[in-house]
Structure 1
Amino acid sequence: MLFFNSSMLKNKSISGFRYLWPLHFIEACRPAATRSLPLLAFSLFGVWIMLSFDIFFPVKCILFLSPALFRHALQLNAMGTQRLLELARQMQNLEAFIHISTAYANCVRKCIDEVIYPPPAEPKKLFDLVEWLDESIIQDITPKLLGDWPNTYTYTKALSEYLIQQEKGNLNIAIIRPSIVGASWHEPFPGWIDSFNGTSGIFVAAGKGILRTVIANNEAVADMIPVDVAINLTLAAGWYTAVHRPKNMLVYNCTTGGINPFFWGEMEQYVISTFKRNPLEQAFRTPNAHLTSNYLINQYWITVSHKAPAILYDLYMRLTGRKPRMMKIINRLHKSMMLLQYFSTQSWDWSSDNMNMLMSHLNTEDKKLYNFDVRQLHWSEYIESYCLGAKKYLLNEDMAGIPAAKQHLRKLRNIRYAFNTTLLVIIWRIFIARSQMARNIWYFVVSLCYKFLSYFRASSTLRH
């Protein structure tokens, strides 16, 4: 959570923001996750918060995607939001409450405006339901509850938005909906990232040569937003909400697809080319991932390029007395790819009128300091910074090790060529030994090559 004090409200620009207190509130906010516990027993610390701050950014969320964790996702993302609203009502000087949702909260719709849509279910009824139902029963009915929603995260975020609309009362609230949050664009450093969530883990898996195939539509929009852009928009929305106090609750779609579209096919090219120029250390195979929208083709490549090499590698590890691990990595990767598949095979249209309106209210200095104009974003440069950031900040690899990493890739390439050639010769020899037709084809090809070489040699002799 983030709080700002009243000094910023004296300014007509965001430059007056004075960042005061970064609070994760891990222990203090834990009671907010359940209805049975009292509201945020802060004691003197809580009293200080309620009396001192004016803008409230409850940015902590839990990314539960598995249907098996429906109860936890509901308690933390939806019921937790309800508790935070109760806390906000007790903050005497509160001028703005900024809720962080997701652009995919209403992903069952293809065109998503900056409005609150009807929820998939009545939130309070669901709260009562999870209070008394056994966990096994909840897991059994979760698929029916989710309906067309792909996971519990987007589902509970949709509930949270509706809950805020219904229970906001006199609170001055705005909602931010970022899409897939990626590495930073400029701040604190280009390419900065500290989590394997989202596309970061996918990029690393591709760079390591582990990921070889992805179900995705090359022409679908990969709606990615740099983390610093999302933060800048959130801060600007907090300033605008507190200072201008709009009559209606504003929703900001923090997306790029409708303004500066970027496609999954382009992402594949940029990521692979970057990791070939700047390889990761100790790669498993050379980077070479392919996108396909065909399920059968994807399953074929999973078997040939994922599972078969992983089994051979684990066999090698066992023979050398080490613990096998590659199949575990592959299985975890496949689970992640299954979760991503819903978002990588289709596109959405998000309106961005409120984001454009907010930008028009910023002065020249604020537009530079709190830049969220994604029209200036060059995707090829950004993806390169993202990949290098993953190498540097996630894997803690030194850029000075790139020459050695390139040498390792050349070694892997030579091993692949030797293996493929050997395999081809073995298979062909088996066919020649067992098939008269294969032998005839082989003799024909050899004879043709011999005649071509003889003709070429004779032609060269005549010229001289």
Structure 2
Amino acid sequence: MKHLKAFVHLSTTFCHCDYDVLEEKIYPPPHNPHDIIHAMEWMDEKTIKLITPSLLGEHPNCYTYTKRLAEYLVYEYRHKFPVCIARPSIVVPSFSEPVKGWVDSMSGVVGIFVGAGKGVIRSMMCNPDASAEIVPVDVAINAVLITAWSRANLKSEEVPTYNISLGGHVHLKWPDLVESVRGIIDECPFEKTIWYPGGNMRTNWLVHYFCVIFLHYLPAYFIDFLCLLFRQKKFMVRIQNRISVGLGILHYFALRSWKFDNDKLLDTIKALPEEDRKTFYTYDIDYDVRTYMLHSMIGARVYLLKEPLSSIPNARRQLF
């Protein structure tokens, strides 16, 4: 690969979640990646499941843990390839391209808001003072392209590492997102809502579990019981089980605060010609939270749920 100019490894800002402040540098892995790979090759599934909790340590899941190991594997190839590492935070619908609010996945934040809009999510644990470390997908991609350009112009074997997140620039808290979505759902509700859209953030686990039992699972079992009576396929408990898994993952990130330094990325962006900064927009655009969330919810409605905008008036009538 003689003509390779830049190899960008896509990681995540949460791969070093045991650090409250994440700098743009390589951190030592908790275990030797080669030892872990070798162990996975000969261990059976039962043994792997048994040792996984001790391997993960403070990591909430295998995703962040393996991303952390992968960073060091990439670092080891610095003498062979022009590598760099880009760490986006939680990726959310697009800001502008290909269209405003474009999204193709129900995972993460979008899935939670869709669930609340459908009336099936009524409670979520969240730290109201925690920053919402999100980044629109097109902004993240632009930043990744910028890092590739920067690495291609770097004549050394170092491994530049870039943190890509809006947390330190937009200063967005989770309650800001929730409140903006609450009003937007009333304006453009989804079709076939199970319950009136709503829900609240909780800071007390006992209250949250109480709400999950009485506002998530009891209605779900009741709906499935009705489906059984009318000889329809049961679905609601299965959906709530999936929601519980998703909430469990998101709770870890919504209850904690991190600071992601990105001075290196900002300096790289400043080095771009002015025309390129406009083309590959990142931090120098107007982030109006409500407008952005409106486009995001419309995007979820159109691209994920396949509900045309023409059905909004009818959805409003059903809601009210």
TM-score (norm 1): 0.67
1:171-190, aligned counterparts within 5 Å?
A: 171-190=81-100
Three-state SS of the structure 2 residue aligned to 1:168 is: coil
- Mind listing any 5+ residue stretches in structure 2 that lack a counterpart? none
Once the two structures are TM-superposed, the CA of residue 192 in structure 1 deviates from its matched residue by 0.2
- Aligned partners of 1:203, 1:119: CA distance in 2, in Å? 34
Distance 1:350 1:246, change over 3 A: farther
Once the two structures are TM-superposed, the CA of residue 245 in structure 1 deviates from its matched residue by 3.5
- Aligned partners of 1:185, 1:322: CA distance in 2, in Å? 40
Which residue type is aligned with residue 151 of structure 1? Answer: N
Match of 2:222 among 312, 323, 347: 312
1:427-446, aligned counterparts within 5 Å?
A: none
Whether 2:252 is the aligned partner of 1:329: answer no
Root-mean-square deviation (CA), in Å? 1.3
Q: How many correspondences in the alignment? A: 320
Is this contact kept in 1: 2:108–2:246, CA < 8 A? Answer: no
- Mind listing any 5+ residue stretches in structure 1 that lack a counterpart? 1-90, 411-464
- Aligned partners of 2:199, 2:163: CA distance in 1, in Å? 31
- Aligned partners of 1:355, 1:287: CA distance in 2, in Å? 39
Task: Report percent identity of matched pairs.
Answer: 36
- Aligned partners of 1:132, 1:310: CA distance in 2, in Å? 42
What whole-Å deviation, never above 9, does each CA across 1:17-74 have from its counterpart, x for those lacking one? xxxxxxxxxxxxxxxxxxxxxxxxxxxxxxxxxxxxxxxxxxxxxxxxxxxxxxxxxx
- Aligned partners of 1:127, 1:313: CA distance in 2, in Å? 45
- 4+ runs deviating over 4 angstroms: none
Once the two structures are TM-superposed, the CA of residue 321 in structure 1 deviates from its matched residue by 2.1
> 1:357 is matched with which residue?
267
Once the two structures are TM-superposed, the CA of residue 166 in structure 1 deviates from its matched residue by 2.0
Once the two structures are TM-superposed, the CA of residue 246 in structure 1 deviates from its matched residue by 5.3
> 1:42 is matched with which residue?
none
Whether 2:112 is the aligned partner of 1:207: answer no
Match of 1:370 among 275, 280, 291: 280
Whether 2:69 is the aligned partner of 1:159: answer yes
Once the two structures are TM-superposed, the CA of residue 351 in structure 1 deviates from its matched residue by 0.4
Match of 1:134 among 44, 49, 54: 44
Once the two structures are TM-superposed, the CA of residue 374 in structure 1 deviates from its matched residue by 5.7
Query: Which range moves more in the overlay, 369-378 or 120-129?
Result: 369-378
TM-score (norm 2): 0.97
Three-state SS of the structure 1 residue aligned to 2:9 is: strand
What whole-Å deviation, never above 9, does each CA across 1:96-145 have from its counterpart, x for those lacking one? 11110001010111110001111010111111211222221111011011
Whether 2:212 is the aligned partner of 1:291: answer no
What whole-Å deviation, never above 9, does each CA across 1:195-231 have from its counterpart, x for those lacking one? 1122121121111011110011111111110000010
Three-state SS of the structure 2 residue aligned to 1:328 is: helix
Which residue type is aligned with residue 378 of structure 1? Answer: D
1:255-270, aligned counterparts within 5 Å?
A: 255-270=165-180
Is this contact kept in 1: 2:16–2:64, CA < 8 A? Answer: yes
Larger Rg: 1
Three-state SS of the structure 2 residue aligned to 1:376 is: coil
Whether 2:192 is the aligned partner of 1:282: answer yes
Is this contact kept in 1: 2:107–2:246, CA < 8 A? Answer: no
